[in-house]
Amino acid sequence: MKYLHAVALLIVLVASSAAWAVEPNEMLADPVLEARARAISKELRCMVCQNESIDDSQAPLAHDLRILVRERLKAGDSDAQIINFLVSRYGEFVLLEPPLSWHTVALWGTPPGLLLLGAIMIVLGERRRRARAAAAGPAGLSPAEEARVAEILGGEGTQ
């Protein structure tokens, strides 16, 4: 039941504020700055929600953060400066894309690592199977089968 849970939580969080995500009065007049604000917002997590960016979230905290991002943009900060500012304030939890560090190595390493490992295992397994098949040679007959062949052929072959 995919949404029951997420949605139930979402409802609890926003039941009072019947507003939604980015509101018209939050938006900046300058379309370039506003586009940057939207892009930054999509990378930042709303900390009181379940896996939602502040761009999507209806929570009051997300509203405050959207305003904050836009204020920093108006003050002339770069995208990186704004994100660094939020990380220093809320920790790495705020980033929806976790940066590569010692404790996320296993996370980022899984897709390429597993792909490589899988490819190696397939190649090795294939080689082993081939070697085994080659060693066995073209399916030989057991002594009993040889005898049976001789018996069948016996009548005409030896005469």
Partner 1 sequence: MIPELGHYALMLALGIALIQSSMPIIGARTRDPLLMSMATPAALAHFAFVAIAFAALAECYVFSDFSVLNVFENSNSQMPLIYRLTSVWGNHEGSMMLWVSILAVFGALVALFGNNLPATLKANALGVQAWIAAAFELFILTTSNPFLRIPNAPFEGRDLNPILQDPGLAFHPPMLYLGYVGFSITFSFAIAALLEGRIDAAWARWVRPWVLGAWMCLTLGIAGGSYWAYYELGWGGFWFWDPVENASLMPWLAGTALLHSALVMEKREALKVWTILLAILAFSLSLIGTFLVRSGVLTSVHAFAVDPRRGVFILAILVIFIGGALALYAWRAPLLKQGGLFAPISREGALVFNNLFLVCACATVVVGTLYPLALQALNGDKISVGPPFFNATFGPLFIPLMIAMPFGPLMGWKRGDLLGAAQRLLVAALLAAVAVAASFAISHGGPVLAPFGIGVAVFVMAGAVTDIVERTMVLRLPFHATLRRARGLPRSAWGTAFAHFGIGATLFGIVAVTAWGSERIAEIKPTQSLEIAGYQVTFDGVFNRAGPNYRDVVGHFTVRRSGRIIGVMAPSRRTFPAREMATTEAALMSRGVSQLYLSLGDANKDGSVPVRLFFKPDVLMIWLGALLMFCGGALSLSDRRLRVGAPRPARAKVKPALQPAE
Q: Which long-range contacts (CB under 8 A, 24 or more apart) does 76-85 make?
A: 79/36, 79/39, 79/40, 82/40, 83/40, 83/43, 83/44
Question: What number of chain residues touch partner 1 (CB under 8 A)?
Answer: 52
Residue found under tokens 């938006």:
27
Least distance to partner 1 from the beta carbon of 159, Å?
A: 37
Of 5-13, 61-69, 73-81, 135-143, which part binds partner 1 (CB under 8 A)? Answer: 5-13
The two tokens of residue 96 are: 């929806």
- Tokens 């929806």: give the residue: 96
Binding of partner 1 by 80 (CB under 8 A): no
State which of residues 67, 122, 141, 149 lies at the interface with partner 1 (CB under 8 A): 122
One of 28, 33, 56, 68 touching partner 1 (CB under 8 A): 56
Decide: is 30 part of the binding site for partner 1 (CB under 8 A).
no
- Give the list of residues 6+ apart from residue 67 with CB closer than 8 angstroms, or none: 26
Residue type, 10: L
The residues facing 95 across adjacent strands are 44
Q: Does 32 bind partner 1 (CB under 8 A)?
A: no
For residue 11, list its beta bridge partners: none
From the CB of 58, what's the least distance to partner 1, in Å?
9
Residues in the site for partner 1, rule: CB under 8 A? 1-9, 11, 15, 18-25, 27, 42-43, 45, 50-53, 56, 91-98, 103-104, 106-108, 110-111, 114-115, 118-119, 122, 126, 129-130, 133
